Structure 1
């Protein structure tokens, strides 16, 4: 699946016109990826890094290159400072150096300050390639980077890729419809039954709230798993979108079921919109250090109160 903006970025690098900083955002920026596994967006940045260092998209040599640095936004500030110190020296290859930072929205204040100093006065031949959730990255970082928005893949594109990976056509269509435009999410739904169950439980919890119930057991089942909570809220938002589609008679929707149809008939547009706002607010709270269970418990009450007004 070749995105037009991906091609533009790679062509710019090949032509020698790359800027010193890029922030690449997409649906695969890694709310959906288990720890330790690369997202498709992170893999794109590695390909771009290989282009800058070797003139080829082959990433195998990156791990052997002293001019390539890669870390996660949640890394300690000491690692950022160490990279900054290394960048003050001459490149081993004599030409370019590349720093890839995934999940840049996870950087704390100290790491952001260290990053800003590098972006403000980048050493010659040094390139910074970042991924992350655009809205959660500080404007001071965003303003110093060229933002490349990859958008979402179509269900047809994702389905074709899943079929190529061995899925039956019916399965590929189902997981593509449930993926919210993320190939990474679609692959995980196809391969991970626990992830499928996480989605099902999140949608059922939302429908419970819509029906006047308070699913605190669902919140408790998430435990302290912040990543599972974030993914669950994403599934809830998608289900709200499906309710709106049912209500307006628009095509699309992957949640299905009589309960969703009933919710579309029972809830007003204003109530659904209020639920979306409450879920988005909970997503932002999950980005802080607040406890996961209190956030989800509060969300249940907030949605229940919002749709009853």
Structure 2
């Protein structure tokens, strides 16, 4: 099998723009090993046998790579295709990707990252899935303390990180990112309380990356609501308002909200406007939880 899907808590949108997530960087190191026998990723940008795309890639880019892979490798041995955030691929790109996975050229390796549950079964079934463990809150907290955080801050950011050290570090270092999280959770709780927070959607503007990160925070808040509802440990957002939501909403309503958020995430991978997507999400969740 020449396709590998690597998933972890850091397969998300938390890395600052221009900086790869820890999982994406791991795949680049693997690519360097396959191509050069070394983990030095600096050499990749000069290699004609290395291809890297993200989940927002267009079908034309996939077809171009497929055409290039039909030719002989420049180095004479391996070629590597890295696709980050594979769960964000649109249907056309997925179909083009499937054709490559079904008939992989000799010596070609496909390395994918993404959220496993949101990648189509047809892709997953053609890949060896490698699940990297998430870090515990204690492990993340210890690392944040090592980086200079006070114990109370380290515990708070670790609890908010959903097992992602990348997210925890950014929450610790970036006040704007903290505010983005707070606003996203408050917007979700507003919807749960019967309000329509279109001002929140407008505040995101055209920032697609901020929108993706906000939806990730909303999904985590839904998980916290479910934890409260079942009495399970965990939960790091919302306080009393979250407790109220857990008491007022049914399991079905929370599940419907999760589905609507996931659908909005998929729409963000297209060229559709950010504000219309978020406005639609607000209405979709409001209607779903009222059914």
TM (normalized to structure 2)?
0.84
Alignment partners' CA distance in 1, 2:135 and 2:234:
15
Alignment partners' CA distance in 2, 1:273 and 1:144:
29
How far apart are 1:85 and its partner, in Å? 4.4
Alignment partners' CA distance in 1, 2:284 and 2:45:
47
How far apart are 1:203 and its partner, in Å? 1.1
Distance 1:168 1:77, change over 3 A: same
Distance 1:139 1:241, change over 3 A: closer
Distance 1:282 1:112, change over 3 A: closer
**Structure ID, larger Rg:** 1
Alignment partners' CA distance in 2, 1:265 and 1:85:
55
Alignment partners' CA distance in 1, 2:60 and 2:256:
42
Distance 1:80 1:205, change over 3 A: closer
Distance 1:216 1:115, change over 3 A: closer
* Greater mean deviation of Cα atoms: 128-137 or 43-52: 128-137
Distance 1:263 1:123, change over 3 A: closer
Structure 2 gap segments, 5+ residues each? none
Alignment partners' CA distance in 2, 1:108 and 1:247:
34
* Greater mean deviation of Cα atoms: 40-49 or 96-105: 96-105
Distance 1:167 1:65, change over 3 A: farther
Distance 1:77 1:234, change over 3 A: closer
Alignment partners' CA distance in 1, 2:94 and 2:195:
42
* Greater mean deviation of Cα atoms: 163-172 or 215-224: 163-172
How far apart are 1:255 and its partner, in Å? 0.7
What SS does the corresponding residue of 1:61 show, helix, strand or coil?
helix
Alignment partners' CA distance in 1, 2:122 and 2:144:
38
Distance 1:60 1:135, change over 3 A: same
Deviations 1:229-279 (A, max 9, x none): 222222122222223333343321111423223333444444434433433
How many residues align? The count is 291
Deviations 1:161-191 (A, max 9, x none): 3333333332222111111122222222122
Which of the numbers 87, 93, 108 marks the counterpart of 1:105?
87
Alignment partners' CA distance in 2, 1:119 and 1:271:
37
Distance 1:123 1:259, change over 3 A: closer
How far apart are 1:197 and its partner, in Å? 0.6
Distance 1:37 1:265, change over 3 A: same
* Greater mean deviation of Cα atoms: 178-187 or 258-267: 258-267
What SS does the corresponding residue of 2:5 show, helix, strand or coil?
strand
Map 1:150-169; keep pairs closer than 5 Å.
150-169=132-151
TM (normalized to structure 1)?
0.80
How far apart are 1:92 and its partner, in Å? 4.0
Distance 1:32 1:168, change over 3 A: same
How far apart are 1:76 and its partner, in Å? 4.7
How far apart are 1:121 and its partner, in Å? 3.1
Conserved in 1, the CA contact under 8 Å of 2:56 and 2:269? Answer: no
Conserved in 1, the CA contact under 8 Å of 2:194 and 2:286? Answer: yes
Deviations 1:91-145 (A, max 9, x none): 4444322222223344455544543443333333221212233344444433322
Distance 1:112 1:191, change over 3 A: same
State the match for 1:12 in structure 2. Answer: none
Distance 1:117 1:170, change over 3 A: same
4+ aligned runs moved over 6 Å, structure 1: none
The RMSD of aligned alpha carbons is 2.9
The answer on 1:141 being equivalent to 2:123 is yes
